[in-house]
């Protein structure tokens, strides 16, 4: 961490950026590139990689100052997978060349990222995945199928876990790669959801060649690298900064205030319980981000994501009840392929249906309960009969 830059110095750096690149006259992408090069993209990253090695919480000062000047942002919801999962993993395990190549266009949004982890036969049990990566010259040839891949239809790159040693136990035979989604052999097909849209996809990999220079971490250490990604993912989903009465609870409170004729004592009590739980989750998220400021995310992120999913489903259901007959309406069933997820967007019917996926994406609630039980509460782990068995001998 830098010991020479003060908060006042940081404010001056932002002022200098604005003076040299007036947001009113500078092209959006040029401004974002200049911001990254000035170390103001994520100030808690190292110098040379969009940061200044400063405390994480100082980033809020930068955002407020830039927003007040009308500066453009990098559309974080559109590139959330890159920002929340790919970037911290590349920073932790990438080579200097990989950091130099990928982090800048990732942050500016020039290159969108997706996540090729889950498979039809390996969702909750991710370590059981079957996609194979076979050495070939100075690279790898990958074959397999991935599923539930958000943003695959807009992504340029993907973080990919594949099996490189079928003779090793399932957790030890995996390797982590950075896959170019425009390469031959990558096929993306939409998966239409209960909401009508197709934000998810299935991805087929047929003889896809990945150079060894796009391997992240050591061969066989893919599970270790993937766990870093998953910890960051759960924090990104469940631990995002939220104002009081923000998110789903804000929508429910708004419906309560706008429809006094539909209020009942039972609905009032449920709203109060939901509001209190949402506030507890918000404050817990603040504590989690304070911990992030001094280290890497731990299993506590799983608890936050678990809470987020439960509250989103309970509150969206309560909103439907509050709206009565209006809650049964669904405005648009058009098949679209959005470029980002909006958990509280559109109408109440959409929010209710979309929330059903919250307990699956980013780790199923059942698996997250196990993680919290074993890694946070210290309870005995479940008996795993295939832990030391070669993957090729396991029942699938």
Work out the average pLDDT over 240-262. Answer: 87
Q: Is residue 73 part of a domain?
A: no
Rounded-to-integer distance, Cα 396 and Cα 381, Å: 22
Q: Is residue 243 part of a domain?
A: yes
307 near 278, Cβ under 8 Å?
no
Q: Let me know whether 157 and 183 are in one domain.
A: yes
How confident is the model at residue 292, as a pLDDT?
Answer: 62
How confident is the model at residue 235, as a pLDDT?
Answer: 62
Report which secondary-structure segment, H or E, holds 215.
Answer: strand 215-216
Tell me phi and psi for residue 141, to 5 degrees.
-115, 125
119 near 146, Cβ under 8 Å?
yes
Q: Let me know whether 288 and 328 are in one domain.
A: yes
Residue 298, number of CB atoms within 10 A of its CB: 14
Q: Let me know whether 158 and 246 are in one domain.
A: no
Higher pLDDT, 252 or 123: 252
Residue pLDDT, tens place only, 114-154: 999 999 999 888 999 999 999 999 999 999 999 999 999 99
Is residue 1's pLDDT more than 50?
no
Rounded-to-integer distance, Cα 55 and Cα 43, Å: 7
At residue 160 the predicted structure's pLDDT band, cuts being 50, 70 and 90, is very high
Q: Let me know whether 39 and 115 are in one domain.
A: no
Q: Let me know whether 91 and 158 are in one domain.
A: yes
How confident is the model at residue 138, as a pLDDT?
Answer: 96
Q: Is residue 302 part of a domain?
A: yes
337 near 290, Cβ under 8 Å?
no
Work out the average pLDDT over 339-347. Answer: 84
How confident is the model at residue 218, as a pLDDT?
Answer: 97
Is residue 351's pLDDT more than 60?
yes
Residue 54: CA atoms inside 13 Å, Cβ hemisphere, count? 22
How confident is the model at residue 246, as a pLDDT?
Answer: 86
Task: Give residue 300's domain range.
Answer: 239-376
Q: Rg of the chain over CA atoms, in angstroms?
A: 22
Q: Is residue 395 part of a domain?
A: no
* Among the listed residues 392, 372, 374, 391, the one whose alpha carbon sits nearest the alpha carbon of residue 383: 374
How confident is the model at residue 239, as a pLDDT?
Answer: 54
What percent of the chain has pLDDT above 70?
94
Active site residues: 233
* CATH number assigned to the domain comprising residue 123: 2.40.110.10
> 113 forms bridges with which residues in the sheet?
157
Rounded-to-integer distance, Cα 12 and Cα 15, Å: 5
Q: Let me know whether 158 and 35 are in one domain.
A: no
Domain boundary residue, one of 157, 191, 220: 220
Q: Let me know whether 21 and 57 are in one domain.
A: yes
How confident is the model at residue 294, as a pLDDT?
Answer: 59
Q: Let me know whether 181 and 311 are in one domain.
A: no
On the 0-12 / 13-18 / 19+ scale of CB atoms within 10 A, 283 is exposed
* CATH number assigned to the domain comprising residue 336: 1.20.140.10
At residue 234 the predicted structure's pLDDT band, cuts being 50, 70 and 90, is low
Residue 98, number of CB atoms within 10 A of its CB: 17
Q: Is residue 231 part of a domain?
A: no
Work out the average pLDDT over 202-228. Answer: 97
> 204 forms bridges with which residues in the sheet?
145, 187
Mean pLDDT for all residues in the chain:
91
How confident is the model at residue 96, as a pLDDT?
Answer: 97
Q: Let me know whether 251 and 200 are in one domain.
A: no
Q: Let me know whether 281 and 306 are in one domain.
A: yes
DSSP symbol at 178: E
Higher pLDDT, 330 or 6: 6
Q: Is residue 185 part of a domain?
A: yes
Please count the structural domains in the chain.
3
Q: 275-279, 319-323, 343-347: which has the minimum mean pLDDT?
A: 343-347
Q: Is residue 394 part of a domain?
A: no
Q: Let me know whether 98 and 192 are in one domain.
A: yes
Rounded-to-integer distance, Cα 335 and Cα 173, Å: 39
Q: Let me know whether 371 and 255 are in one domain.
A: yes
Is residue 3's pLDDT more than 60?
no
Rounded-to-integer distance, Cα 316 and Cα 320, Å: 6
Q: Is residue 74 part of a domain?
A: no
* Among the listed residues 111, 201, 208, 196, the one whose alpha carbon sits nearest the alpha carbon of residue 151: 201
How confident is the model at residue 4, as a pLDDT?
Answer: 85
């Amino acid at each position: 961490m830098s010991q020479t830059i003060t908060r006042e110095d940081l404010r001056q750096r932002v002022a200098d950026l604005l003076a040299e690149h007036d947001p009113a006259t500078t092209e959006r992408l040029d401004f974002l590139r200049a911001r990254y090069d000035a170390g103001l993209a994520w100030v808690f990253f190292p110098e040379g990689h969009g940061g200044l090695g400063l405390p994480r919480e100082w980033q809020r000062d930068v955002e407020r100052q830039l927003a007040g000047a009308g500066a453009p942002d990098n559309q974080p919801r559109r590139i959330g997978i890159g920002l929340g999962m790919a970037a911290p993993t590349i920073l932790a395990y990438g080579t200097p060349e990989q950091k130099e190549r990928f982090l800048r266009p990732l942050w500016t949004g020039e290159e969108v990222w997706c996540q090729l982890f889950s498979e039809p036969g390996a969702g909750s049990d991710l370590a059981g995945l079957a996609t194979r990566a076979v050495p070939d010259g100075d690279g790898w040839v990958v074959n397999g199928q991935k599923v539930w891949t958000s943003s695959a239809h807009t992504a340029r790159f993907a973080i990919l876990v594949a099996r490189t040693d079928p003779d090793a136990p399932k957790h030890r035979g995996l390797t982590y790669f950075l896959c170019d989604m425009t390469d031959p052999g990558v096929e993306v097909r939409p998966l239409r959801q209960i909401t009508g849209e197709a934000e998810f996809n299935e991805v087929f990999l047929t003889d896809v060649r990945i150079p060894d220079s796009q391997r992240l971490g050591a061969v066989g250490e893919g599970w270790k690298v993937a766990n870093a990604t998953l910890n960051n993912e759960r924090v990104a989903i469940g631990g995002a900064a939220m104002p009081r009465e923000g998110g789903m609870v804000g929508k429910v409170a708004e419906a309560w205030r706008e429809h006094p004729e539909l209020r009942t004592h039972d609905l009032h009590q449920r709203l109060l319980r939901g509001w209190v739980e949402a506030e507890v989750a918000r404050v817990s998220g603040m504590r989690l981000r304070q911990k992030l400021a001094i280290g890497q995310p731990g299993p506590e992120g799983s608890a936050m994501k678990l809470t987020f999913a439960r509250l989103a489903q309970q509150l969206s259901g309560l909103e439907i009840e509050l709206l009565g007959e209006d809650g049964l309406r669904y405005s648009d069933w058009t098949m679209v392929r959005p470029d980002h997820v909006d958990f509280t967007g559109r109408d109440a019917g959409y929010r209710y249906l979309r929330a059903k996926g919250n307990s699956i994406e980013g780790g199923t609630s059942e698996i997250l309960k196990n993680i919290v039980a074993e890694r946070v509460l210290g309870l005995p782990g479940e008996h795993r009969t295939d832990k030391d068995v070669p993957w090729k001998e396991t029942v699938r």
